[in-house]
Amino acid sequence: MKQWRPTSAEVWQGRDDSGEAANALRLFQTITCSTTFCPEQLPGDIALLGFACDEGVRRNNGRTGAAQAPAILRRALANLASHAEHTRLADCGDIFVEQDNLEQAQQALREAVLACQRAGKRTLVLGGGHETALGHGLGVLDAFPQEKVGIINLDAHLDLRHAPQATSGTPFRQLAHYCETQQRDFRYACCGLSMAANTQALLDEAACRHVTIVEDLRCLSAPTEAIAQLEQFMADLDRIYLTIDLDVLPAWEMPAVSAPAALGVPCAILLQLLAAICRSGKLQAVDLVEFNPSHDRDGQGARVAARIAWQVARWWG
């Protein structure tokens, strides 16, 4: 596998409570870690991948640092309790960027995701900037060419930018173009969108592409209506690729992103949205992106992100 490396054994460490009871276990004690990229040989049905890249953020004039996120998020996950659902997790290592060759790294992620999906795994990817979504999304689309694959983006931003090269702001426009070349419908919903953070040009692009938009204000004032809107979007789909841009959370909960949200959707409400998606029976792939450890405060953001990833794995039925 190109631009791949195994996860360091030093990452998966934590408190050992096994002397208390045989089932007093944490994730670092139950996760399987691969020293080679062979997803078909790994147990469980959730492949954990890192995408150690923030070149797209740099190109988008954002705050770099997300390339360090996969290792930090694994450390935050390591010490969380391992329940029965978490034994399905297998760590398949990291895809990394060489110098500034983002496109090559995205292609490597695409191939890694496709290999995992063809091996019968679902993919949980820890980014990286939101450029992660292009490689992850293409891998899922490639794995299910005859099925209706929908994208749900929990994000303050549409990320439908037009730019001369790929950035963290272009992945969904690029995925839309790919769907066009394949004569597939582009099914995309952005939930948690901040109208204050998206220009009219981006909203016009979303309207042209029939994007489902659920505003942050709707999530805050009427979460059950927001869930119903997502359920309506999911009803006609065969598979769902869920991407969670952590800047959808308010800055006081998630300071460690390139673009902290002035308002945002609090984690407690976000988890309600996630529950509906995870329990739909259609969720095939998930990523968490834009976590930037260089701007974290006392590990607060890492703990919030890890809890979200932990909850996804627990609910992923």
Residue reference for tokens 């820890």: 126
Contact 234/150 with Cβ under 8 angstroms? yes
157 belongs to an annotated ligand binding site: yes
**Is the peptide bond between 50 and the residue preceding it cis, with omega within 30 degrees of 0?**
no
Which tokens sit at 314?
Answer: 């627990």
CA 30, CA 33: separation in Å to the nearest integer?
10
Is 236 known as a binding-site position? no
155 annotated as ligand-binding = yes
Please check if 245 is assigned to a binding site: yes
State yes or no: 238 annotated in a binding site: no
Cβ-based neighbours of 214, under 8 Å, separated by 6 or more: 189, 190, 191, 192, 193, 226, 229, 230
Cα gap 11→121, rounded to integer Å: 23
Q: Rounded to an integer, what is the distance from CA 108 to the centroid of its chain?
A: 17
What is the amino acid identity at position 263?
A: L
Closest-CA residue to 188 (of 227, 226, 149): 149
Pair 187, 149: CB distance under 8 Å: yes
For 66, the enclosing helix (H) or strand (E) is: none
Enumerate the known binding-site residues for Mn(2+).
Answer: 130, 155, 157, 159, 245, 247
Enumerate the known binding-site residues.
Answer: 130, 155, 157, 159, 245, 247
